[in-house]
A and B are shown apart, each in its own frame.
Chain A
Amino acid sequence: MTYQPRIGLEIHVQLATRTKAFCGCEVAAPGAAPNSSICEVCTGHPGALPVFNREVALLATKIALALGCEINPQSTFDRKNYFYPDLPKGYQITQFFHPLGQNGSFRFFSPQGEELEWAIRRVHIEEDAARLVYLSQDGFTGIDDNRSGIPLVEIVTEPAKRTPEQARSFFQQLRDTLRFLEVTSGDMEWGALRCDANVSVCSGDGVRCSSRMEVKNLNSFSFLQKALEFEIVRLQAQLESGKLSSPQTRGWDASAKRTFLLREKESLGEYRYFPEPDLGPVFLSPHTLSGLFSDLPELPHQQIRRYMRAQGLSYPDALFLWQNPAFRSFFEECRQLLEEPGEILKWLRGEIQGQLHRQEKEFSQTPLTPKQLVDLVKKVQSGQLPFSSAREWIRARIRGSEKPLEVLQPVLPDEASMHKWVEEVLEEHPRELEKYHAGKTGLLHFFMGQVLQKSKGKAIPEVVLKILRDTLGGKR
């Protein structure tokens, strides 16, 4: 029996506005003293009325446009009514009937580099609720209204036949995109980006389906993946045993690595929605809309796809370059000088990035030029320069050494020592040698690696390979 999961995501994005959605309170920095940025509006005092912050409309529209949504030039606000201590007014101002954006899609890459698309049902504006602080002593709960009224955009996907791993990629790349658009800090540890996941599982023929489970507050990429994996296994077991449970809202226990029941969804969403009478529509003039549209930059997935195509790169290499803009222009210059970019990327992603990290430096602070790196790669490839010398030179360069590549004397070891290293390695690994002669010729690379290690990088790969082939051939 095969099973097919259907996954839908609801992602809440705190917008990076200066002030809250419906009052003039500044959005407090994460970790600010509780209730230090509040007023009568965001604490729901009687008689206080909401006034819409126009900046919210602009950032939210940017998101909706980036997600390819149809934009409603007159979206409206509604009230979602329910009682909860984190909800000061007893209702949340949201967009239910006429959301800002609808029918969009988000393109992203699977970890394998496959380009995928996930349909977006709607993008709407709403306000955040207060933060509840569970005080350890006496079981009291504190209410921090700094968060209430912070503008949110909720992105709701269509349910799709996707894997947990793909859901993770979607969420990750959505965050990259939102950060790139500078509409949110995207700080998940502060709740600036939050994800709820819906999942159900159907038998392969689609005849039997489980109930839909909603897992709340999956505030890390790996939690999202793990929670979905856990739920899918759980729901498959339900389908197999025939003991289906009703729809539930569940939470994720990160330490136990399992979901747990929060509540049964008996009354599915009794929120008594109705149009918010205190606010008019969010008007977006054709002028505003076309301005926002033409200001939209090339999106990350478009840029990555362009690198992959134009440079013939793998997805991880293209992603690396996208994530590191300083490397990107450097790489593009190197590409002018060298046909095959693979070695350049190996140096950039390996030694150079590692050294920068160790020395706590920015790439722009190093005097390394694209021409130097290309020369260096060429010399190593042709056996004129041992890898270890090249590495030393790069390290020195990143430290700030001005020593030109030309002064680097090719300290080539004589053939005698290389012969000696080969002999020693073969003597030290008699079992592998036996297997090699028995036909496991792949072990050639193992011996090669051992020799290079023994030589501390001084041996020249091409020469060693030749000696190895000669020696092994001779002993056959």
Chain B
Amino acid sequence: MHSLQSYRSALQEKRISAKELWDHYQKRVQLFDPNIGCFLETADLSPRFLEGTDGLFPCSVKDNIHVQGFHTTCGSQFLSEYSPVFEATVSQRLRKAGCVFVGKTNMDEFAMGSTGENSGFFPTRNPWDFERIPGGSSSGSAASVAAGFCLFSIGSDSGGSLRLPASFCGVVGYKPTYGLVPRSGLVSLCSSMDQVGSLTRCVWDAAEVSSWLIGKDGRDATTVDHEMDLLQRLEAPVSGLRLAFFREWFHSPVDPMIQQLFQAALHAFEAMGVTVVALSFPEIEQVLPVYYVLNPAEASSNLARFDGVRFGKRVGRGDYSDGVSSARSTLLGEEVQRRILLGTFCLESENVNEYFDKAARVRALLVQKVRGIFEEYDGLVSPTAPCFPPKLGESLSPLEQYQLDRFTALANLGGFPAISIPLGFSDGLPTGLHLCADRFQDAKLLQLARSFEKKNGLLFAGHYPFPHLEDRP
């Protein structure tokens, strides 16, 4: 059972019951998660609601999204005991669609990171190779789908946090247009870029799960009322559509094998009647500098509430200011502290012109230019990651880590929908293809992704990534 569709038909034909699937996942989590570290908290073993006969879809949720009955730690020691006082809108919508929650997944602390190693608890491992990272920040979510612990997972994406781990774990990571999916109940990292999305095993599931999530929310002023049918165009032919990629993307090193797979993908699109054009867009080099000014700036403000007074623990003695600094310097991880300091610096009155304001202006300019490109092209195509998943503890420098968001962060700057789908394998390690479209062109994006998926084949639809462990009791 590897997709919603196949599971649903199996249910109808009574080849499987909801309880059997639930138990199947539970058993796998028990057996294999100690090797991988996807979950920070798992559900009760046999929830009573499973006795119902409705289609029940076991899913996992990233631990920065509130689910009733679970803690929300954001992968941080700071919130290790925090129970949310309300449920995220997306969690409510999942329940309404008949989903049940297997557990809350591990992540880079407060979604800051690209490797999954920044978890305040333990790092998640890549199901394809336990020595490697799964990518972040939705590390546990992507790994839990790849490892076969649930049908799909819900995560968040502020610069590539769904798509990069999707690429490293060989699954589909889809970030819808900003404003389509409510953020209420998602702990904010970078409010103007955060978006909730899905990690699934195929494009159909991405479209179906997201169709449950989208829609205006009275609790999130940034959501939009936009009627959209994500499933309608999935199987429509793509001939006549136009894709572009930027030559400058390849001015920095990209793994040769990935370049080769990417070239093959372009040919596959051309074979389907899609026009693929290489464009020159030197401004693309500005994406990461802009992103890594604006993201820390907003994060420094969003995380200010974690002062040890209302949330977190009191550390040491002393007055209010002492309490704030000791709680934050003790309980927040290195990357979180780094970004808070960076963001605070960029917003200070003597730096704000040179950093935050300039970055905001360049962002607006970049987005304007890219939207101009979207007037002529239906989408942008690229690899999702410049490399295959690095080894755990390979100790990438912050700058090397930030480079991992090279292809993905643009979508967050513009609020564009973007998706990573399996592109191919090399030495048993997966890598992803990245597609990005104009705002609210989600249906077209999914159509392009589905056409490639069909052409390329579901790379591991029928099996799990660690057959060598399958025989264990």
* Chain A residues packing against B (C-beta within 8 Å): 40, 43-52, 79, 81, 83-85, 88-91, 143, 269-270, 272-275, 277-280
Contact between A40 and B86 (Cβ–Cβ < 8 Å)? yes
Contact between B221 and A90 (Cβ–Cβ < 8 Å)? no
Once A83-B321, A272-B344 are accepted as A-B contacts, the answer to whether A90 and B304 lie under 8 Å apart by CB is yes
Min CB–CB distance A108 → chain B (angstroms): 35
C-alpha spacing A81/B297, complex, angstroms: 11
Residues of A within 8 A of B66 (CB): 47
Let me know if B43 is at the binding interface, CB within 8 A. no
Let me know if B305 is at the binding interface, CB within 8 A. yes
C-alpha spacing A84/B320, complex, angstroms: 8
Once A83-B304, A272-B348 are accepted as A-B contacts, the answer to whether A47 and B221 lie under 8 Å apart by CB is no
Min CB–CB distance A19 → chain B (angstroms): 13
Residues of B within 8 A of A273 (CB): 347
Residue of A49, A52, A278, A280 contacting most chain B CB atoms (<10 Å): A49
Could you write out 19 A-B pairs with CB less than 8 Å apart? Answer: A43-B310, A45-B86, A46-B305, A46-B311, A47-B66, A49-B220, A51-B218, A83-B307, A83-B321, A88-B310, A90-B303, A90-B307, A91-B301, A143-B309, A270-B349, A275-B360, A277-B298, A278-B188, A280-B221
Among B84, B300, B360, point to the contact of A45 (Cβ < 8 A).
B84
Q: Tell me the residues in window 291-307 of chain B with beta carbons closer than 8 Å to chain A beta carbons.
A: 297-298, 300-301, 303-307
Let me know if B192 is at the binding interface, CB within 8 A. yes
Once A88-B305, A272-B301 are accepted as A-B contacts, the answer to whether A46 and B347 lie under 8 Å apart by CB is no
C-alpha spacing A272/B300, complex, angstroms: 10
Residues of A within 8 A of B219 (CB): 48-49, 51
**CB-based nearest A residue for B297:** A274
Contact between B86 and A81 (Cβ–Cβ < 8 Å)? no
Once A43-B310, A50-B221 are accepted as A-B contacts, the answer to whether A277 and B191 lie under 8 Å apart by CB is yes
Contact between A47 and B88 (Cβ–Cβ < 8 Å)? yes
Contact between B221 and A278 (Cβ–Cβ < 8 Å)? yes
Let me know if B404 is at the binding interface, CB within 8 A. no
Contact between B305 and A89 (Cβ–Cβ < 8 Å)? yes
Let me know if B403 is at the binding interface, CB within 8 A. no
**CB-based nearest B residue for A267:** B349
Among B301, B307, B344, point to the contact of A79 (Cβ < 8 A).
B301
C-alpha spacing A81/B343, complex, angstroms: 12
Contact between A47 and B304 (Cβ–Cβ < 8 Å)? no
Once A44-B305, A46-B74 are accepted as A-B contacts, the answer to whether A85 and B320 lie under 8 Å apart by CB is yes
Residues of B within 8 A of A46 (CB): 72, 74, 79, 82, 84, 187-188, 305-306, 311
Min CB–CB distance B300 → chain A (angstroms): 8
Residues of A within 8 A of B301 (CB): 79, 81, 90-91, 272, 274
C-alpha spacing A81/B85, complex, angstroms: 24
Q: Tell me the residues in window 198-247 of chain B with beta carbons closer than 8 Å to chain A beta carbons.
A: 218-222
Residues of B within 8 A of A88 (CB): 305, 310
Contact between B305 and A47 (Cβ–Cβ < 8 Å)? no
Min CB–CB distance A143 → chain B (angstroms): 8
Residues of A within 8 A of B347 (CB): 81, 272-274
Once A81-B347, A90-B304, A274-B347 are accepted as A-B contacts, the answer to whether A51 and B221 lie under 8 Å apart by CB is yes
C-alpha spacing A9/B74, complex, angstroms: 44
Which of B178-186, B371-379, B450-458, B462-470 is the interface stretch?
Answer: B178-186
Interface size on B, residues (CB 8 A): 47
Question: B275-318: contact bitstring with A at CB < 8 Å (1 yes, 0 no)?
Answer: 00000000000000000000001101101111101110000000
C-alpha spacing A296/B307, complex, angstroms: 45
Contact between B304 and A81 (Cβ–Cβ < 8 Å)? yes
* Chain B residues packing against A (C-beta within 8 Å): 64-66, 72, 74, 79, 82, 84-86, 88, 183-188, 190-192, 218-222, 297-298, 300-301, 303-307, 309-311, 320-321, 324, 344, 347-349, 352, 356, 360
C-alpha spacing A40/B310, complex, angstroms: 12
Residues of A within 8 A of B324 (CB): 83
Contact between B220 and A90 (Cβ–Cβ < 8 Å)? no
**CB-based nearest A residue for B357:** A274
Contact between A270 and B220 (Cβ–Cβ < 8 Å)? no
Residues of A within 8 A of B360 (CB): 275
Contact between B79 and A277 (Cβ–Cβ < 8 Å)? no
C-alpha spacing A269/B344, complex, angstroms: 14
Among A81, A90, A278, A280, point to the contact of B191 (Cβ < 8 A).
A278
Min CB–CB distance A75 → chain B (angstroms): 15
**CB-based nearest A residue for B66:** A47
Once A47-B184, A85-B320 are accepted as A-B contacts, the answer to whether A90 and B222 lie under 8 Å apart by CB is no
**CB-based nearest B residue for A51:** B221
Contact between B192 and A277 (Cβ–Cβ < 8 Å)? yes
Residues of B within 8 A of A83 (CB): 304, 307, 320-321, 324
Residues of A within 8 A of B352 (CB): 272, 274
Min CB–CB distance A292 → chain B (angstroms): 22
Task: Return the 5 tightest CB-CB contacts between A and B, nearest first.
Answer: A90-B304, A272-B347, A277-B192, A277-B191, A46-B187
Contact between A47 and B186 (Cβ–Cβ < 8 Å)? yes
Min CB–CB distance A472 → chain B (angstroms): 78
Contact between A274 and B305 (Cβ–Cβ < 8 Å)? no
Among B221, B303, B344, point to the contact of A52 (Cβ < 8 A).
B221
Contact between A280 and B85 (Cβ–Cβ < 8 Å)? no
**CB-based nearest A residue for B191:** A277
C-alpha spacing A268/B446, complex, angstroms: 51
C-alpha spacing A81/B345, complex, angstroms: 13
Contact between B304 and A91 (Cβ–Cβ < 8 Å)? yes
Min CB–CB distance A89 → chain B (angstroms): 5
Residue of B84, B309, B321 contacting most chain A CB atoms (<10 Å): B309
Residues of A within 8 A of B74 (CB): 46
C-alpha spacing A84/B88, complex, angstroms: 28
C-alpha spacing A218/B186, complex, angstroms: 41
C-alpha spacing A280/B216, complex, angstroms: 14
Min CB–CB distance B466 → chain A (angstroms): 34
Among A48, A89, A269, A272, point to the contact of B86 (Cβ < 8 A).
A48
C-alpha spacing A274/B307, complex, angstroms: 20
C-alpha spacing A283/B321, complex, angstroms: 39
Among A40, A91, A143, A279, point to the contact of B221 (Cβ < 8 A).
A279
C-alpha spacing A269/B192, complex, angstroms: 25
C-alpha spacing A291/B126, complex, angstroms: 62
Residues of B within 8 A of A269 (CB): 349
C-alpha spacing A40/B72, complex, angstroms: 14
Min CB–CB distance A168 → chain B (angstroms): 34
Residues of A within 8 A of B221 (CB): 49-52, 278-280
Contact between A278 and B222 (Cβ–Cβ < 8 Å)? yes
Residues of B within 8 A of A91 (CB): 301, 304
Min CB–CB distance A55 → chain B (angstroms): 15
Once A89-B304, A272-B301 are accepted as A-B contacts, the answer to whether A47 and B222 lie under 8 Å apart by CB is no
Min CB–CB distance B92 → chain A (angstroms): 13
C-alpha spacing A46/B192, complex, angstroms: 16
Contact between B188 and A47 (Cβ–Cβ < 8 Å)? yes
Min CB–CB distance B100 → chain A (angstroms): 21
Residues of B within 8 A of A50 (CB): 221
Min CB–CB distance B195 → chain A (angstroms): 12
Residues of B within 8 A of A40 (CB): 85-86
C-alpha spacing A277/B222, complex, angstroms: 8
C-alpha spacing A81/B356, complex, angstroms: 15
Known: A47-B88, A280-B221. 18 other contacts (CB 8 A): A45-B84, A46-B79, A47-B86, A47-B185, A48-B86, A79-B301, A83-B320, A84-B320, A88-B310, A90-B301, A90-B307, A269-B349, A272-B300, A272-B301, A272-B348, A273-B347, A274-B356, A278-B221
**CB-based nearest B residue for A83:** B324
Residues of A within 8 A of B192 (CB): 277
C-alpha spacing A51/B184, complex, angstroms: 11
Contact between A45 and B191 (Cβ–Cβ < 8 Å)? no
C-alpha spacing A280/B84, complex, angstroms: 26
Min CB–CB distance B180 → chain A (angstroms): 15
